[in-house]
Amino acid sequence: MRRRIAVALAVGLWVSAPAAWAATYTIDPDHSTASFKIRHLFSKVEGLFRTFEGTVEYEPGHPEQWKTQATIQTASIDTRVEQRDKHLRSTDFFDAEQYPTITFRSTEVTDATPTNAKLHGLLTIHGVEKPVVLDLTLRGVGKDPWGNVRAGFTATTMINRKEFGLTWNQTLETGQLLVGEEVEITLEIEGIAKQ
């Protein structure tokens, strides 16, 4: 009889206990980056966005529960050249005044392993929404020295800027285009679990 009660209590505790590290994480902008690379003539120019926010729902081993959404402030673009950044904010490119945000919302996760997955979602830039697939790397979950539970992720993808209405370019004397069309995107994300 005592054994049955002990087993019942153990099962009850197991069923009611929260899964380890299952949480909604708020993106920590101080330890995250949203960066990109694009060809300019013969080399690649790097840039990033300074202002962004979002959340990640994550439980290790349960990709069916993984979700994320994020918003980037378009005007926060920074390529370390102010004149170029002004051009990128203008109507030739992002038109930051009319389209102040870039958004991403996940729709599903596929090909998940303990360390990698494919993150499918909808990316909206310049008012144009397109499906994209990000290569996701899971960096781990743990507590920081102050007791906060943190999770880390890297996501990469490549998009064609013309598909989002960013079509400005110049043709050189050689016939080559000044700016490339393919954009490499890299997201280094660290999130803090909501209490």
Q: What's the mean pLDDT in 34-62?
A: 95
For residue 172, the model assigns a pLDDT of 74
Alpha helices in the chain (DSSP H): 2-16, 82-89
Residue 95 covered by a domain: yes
Residue 10 covered by a domain: no
Where in the sequence is the domain holding 109, given as residue range(s)? 19-193
For residue 10, the model assigns a pLDDT of 35
Listed residue (156, 153, 147, 146) closest to 191, CA to CA: 153
Reading the block at residue 74, the tokens are: 């378009």
Please report, for the domain that includes residue 189, its CATH number: 2.40.128.110
Q: How many domains does the chain have?
A: 1
Residue 30 covered by a domain: yes
Three-state secondary structure call for residue 27: strand
Question: Cα separations (Å) of 126 from 37, 131, 166, 170?
Answer: 18, 14, 8, 20
Residue 146 covered by a domain: yes
Residue 150 covered by a domain: yes
Residue 103 covered by a domain: yes
Q: Which residue has the tokens 């009889």?
A: 1
For residue 1, the model assigns a pLDDT of 47
The reported pTM is 0.86
Q: What is the pLDDT of residues 15-25, one digit of tens each?
A: 333 446 689 99
Listed residue (166, 177, 154, 195) closest to 91, CA to CA: 166
State how far the Cα of 174 lies from the Cα of 85, in Å rounded to an integer.
26
Average pLDDT of the chain, as a whole number: 89
Q: Which amino acid is at 132?
A: V
Residue 47 covered by a domain: yes
Residue 125 covered by a domain: yes
